Amino acid sequence: MYKFVNPTDTNTIQNVTSLQTLFNGNNLDKELSDDTGSFVTLTVSGRSNLNQRINTIDVPGLDGTNEYSNPTFDIREITIKYKLTDQTKEGFRQRYNRLNSLLDGSKKELAFTDEDAVFYATLQTNEVPEEETNSVIGNLTFLCSDPFKYGPEQQINFTDNVATVVNDGTVDTSPIFQLEVLSPITFAMIQNQNGDYMMIGKPYDIEGMEPTQPYTEIYNNKLNSFTGWSKIPGGYIFDDDLLGGVVDGSLAIGNGQWYVKDYGSNPNGWHGPSRKTSFEKSIQNFQVKHYITSLSYTGQLGKNALFLLDDNNNIVASMGVVDQTISKWNNHVVFNLAGNKQIFKFQGFNNTQMWLRLTRKDTLFTAEVYQLDKNGNVHNKVSRVFEDLNGQYQAPITQAAVYVSNYKDYFAIPMYVNQLQVNQVNNISENQIPFIAKQGDVITFDHDKQNLLINGESRKDLKDFGGSYFRLLTGHNELFSYPKGSIQSICNYRKKFL
């Protein structure tokens, strides 16, 4: 059965199902309609409007004016006329509250059921007349700072490192390339038929140059068992500013992670369980990545730390998070050298999972903390560097110890230990070219957001100087990926229209 708009209200007769509004994934006509009331999209204007910014300058003695640059497209405004009704005043107000909540957010997808395309829009105004009845006709005006509309995402697979893309949109569009690495590579490159290209890394000549691994993996454990980890006995003390404390209690194995089963006790301060593992070799130049979770809440305290030790159990370096503020959640990410030289302290990363990474290359230390978004991309990254000019913190590491602790008898933060990776940083000579990716890695050339990523981490530092974030031209495009046989490439794009 169909419902029709009252012609006396809108001067239009229209099937409700023929034109509906979708914003941020919600169909407003369906979300706001039930047995007691409804939201009905009546008309939409602005989708076909086109405004250009034309820069001009008046020249004395010249008729007319002079256009001194190519025109650019102006913002787009889309206005939706709608009808909102309800049987009661209370229901009417609740329905409007619900409508306003559904319109929250910036640059969200705005679409309509009569067209397979989306705009990126932000609500500018919800214009409502005087609410004399429980049935009103209002106007939603959306601002599209990006004036274009986009079709569904298209995906083209490369065959033998070649792909043909026919862009039948009306505007050039920015692609996103995903390259799955099949064997170790020193560079990756995508090129079009016009010679435009994007490349990270460096190719190498077979004569006089040698590809080499920048890192050698020494240890990688997702911590789903205690194999290879010995329990540090109670009473042992980690002497480390901010991250240290007394060992007591025990750890347990959860779903692919460790958690604290028993914190033990210490009426004078910090206490909690610890386990230690040894590496197969002593490591001078290292990169250590530690994946942890700290679900900090107000009124809870805790430390989640990793200690890197030498042969004599002395602390070479440490990293972790600590919340020692009872009045609010207040995580601090901390990196120390020798237990007392603080090279990094950053407030934040509350109630979250995070990667901590510490690299020592000769006398240069680099400390980093970051999160991964739902797509596996690195975000919210913070880093610091420290130069050990006097060579005070150069002891090799041979062991690692996990330590999770609580303060006295306060409630402890839910804390988990998820993964530990340890690499040796290799020295690269002048005639060696480092591999930038290994088998199983994923490289992303995001020409839309102008970013280059390896396994979700931005690596624009590897960009070739001549590389550009080229677009897919309207019409026929030929694409080529290199090195041949070492990567499997995919091109994702959305057709773009005026």
- Give the domain range for residue 107: 7-147
Same domain, 131 and 269: no
Q: Which residue in 70, 79, 69, 23 sits closest to 49, CA to CA?
A: 79
Confidence of residue 476 (pLDDT cuts 50, 70, 90): very high
Among residues of the chain, what percentage have pLDDT more than 90? 81
User: Considering the domain boundaries, does residue 90 fall inside one?
Assistant: yes
Give yes or no for residue 296 having a pLDDT over 80.
no
- Of 92, 118, 147, the position where a domain reaches its end is 147
Write the CATH number for 282. Answer: 2.60.120.200
Write the CATH number for 196. Answer: 2.60.120.860
- For the chain, the domain total comes to 3
pLDDT of residue 16: 46
Residue bearing tokens 């609580």: 406
Question: Distance (Å, rounded) from C-alpha 292 to C-alpha 230?
Answer: 19
pLDDT in tens, 102-135: 999 999 999 999 999 999 999 999 999 887 888 9
pLDDT of residue 349: 87
User: Considering the domain boundaries, does residue 2 fall inside one?
Assistant: no
User: Considering the domain boundaries, does residue 397 fall inside one?
Assistant: yes
- 8 A C-beta contact, residue 234 and residue 248: yes
User: Considering the domain boundaries, does residue 1 fall inside one?
Assistant: no
Q: If you average pLDDT over residues 6-19, what whole number do you get?
A: 46
Expressed in percent and rounded to 5, the helix, strand and coil fractions of the chain are 5, 55, 40
Q: If you average pLDDT over residues 269-293, what whole number do you get?
A: 97
pLDDT in tens, 240-253: 999 999 999 999 99
* Pairing mode of beta strands 270-272, 245-247: parallel
Question: Distance (Å, rounded) from C-alpha 229 to C-alpha 403?
Answer: 12
Q: Which residue in 420, 355, 378 sits closest to 217, CA to CA?
A: 420
Give yes or no for residue 3 having a pLDDT over 60.
no
| Beta pairing partners, 68 | none
User: Considering the domain boundaries, does residue 60 fall inside one?
Assistant: yes
pLDDT of residue 206: 67
Question: Tokens standing for 150?
Answer: 């986009």
Q: If you average pLDDT over residues 485-492, what whole number do you get?
A: 97
- Of 132, 147, 162, the position where a domain reaches its end is 147
Confidence of residue 17 (pLDDT cuts 50, 70, 90): low
Same domain, 205 and 96: no
| Beta pairing partners, 121 | 108
pTM: 0.84
- 8 A C-beta contact, residue 272 and residue 264: yes
- 8 A C-beta contact, residue 98 and residue 86: no
